[in-house]
């Protein structure tokens, strides 16, 4: 491995860590990758993968914390971050009635009665 290769490998490893903290960078990098720079393209791929891993880990932690299924945890996080039932249903390709059924289960498991209470509970990282 050349010095340049080693430097590039370290750079891309650091990008992985950065991506977990700043996932909003990915869209900007995708735009830059459109220019055809292979280094930017590689950075975009790394950011996207790190972001997927961070999201999966977040869902898994939420699931474990509240004894939710992964589907319920994904829904709870989506709503806690400001999404709506209709948006979630459309994104997942299911009916809103299905989402409402999952939400009732989330309410029962978390002990809350409203989406606002759920958001506060889910986003409270100090517990």
User: What confidence tens digit (pLDDT) does each residue in 63-80 have?
Assistant: 999 999 999 999 999 999
Cα 18-3-49 angle, rounded to 5 deg: 30
Closest listed residue to residue 66, CA positions, set 120, 108, 98: 108
pLDDT band with cut points at 50, 70 and 90 for residue 3: very low
Give yes or no for residue 24 having a pLDDT over 50.
Answer: yes
Contact 79, 48 (CB under 8 A): no
Residue 81: predicted pLDDT: 85
Is the confidence at residue 126, as pLDDT, over 60? no
- Domains annotated for the chain, with CATH where assigned, are 1-66 (no CATH), 67-127 (1.10.10.10)
pLDDT at 34: 75
């Amino acid at each position: 491995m050349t010095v340049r290769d080693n430097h590039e490998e370290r750079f891309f490893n650091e990008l992985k860590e950065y991506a977990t903290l700043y996932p909003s960078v990915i869209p900007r990098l995708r735009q830059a990758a459109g220019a055809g720079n292979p280094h930017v393209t590689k950075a975009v791929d790394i950011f996207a993968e790190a972001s997927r891993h961070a999201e999966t880990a977040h869902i898994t932690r939420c699931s474990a914390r509240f004894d939710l299924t992964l589907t319920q945890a994904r829904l709870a996080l989506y709503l806690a971050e400001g999404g709506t039932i209709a948006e979630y249903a459309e994104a997942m390709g299911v009916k809103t009635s299905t989402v409402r059924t999952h939400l009732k289960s989330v309410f029962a498991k978390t002990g809350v009665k409203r989406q606002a209470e759920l958001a506060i509970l889910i986003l409270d990282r100090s517990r």
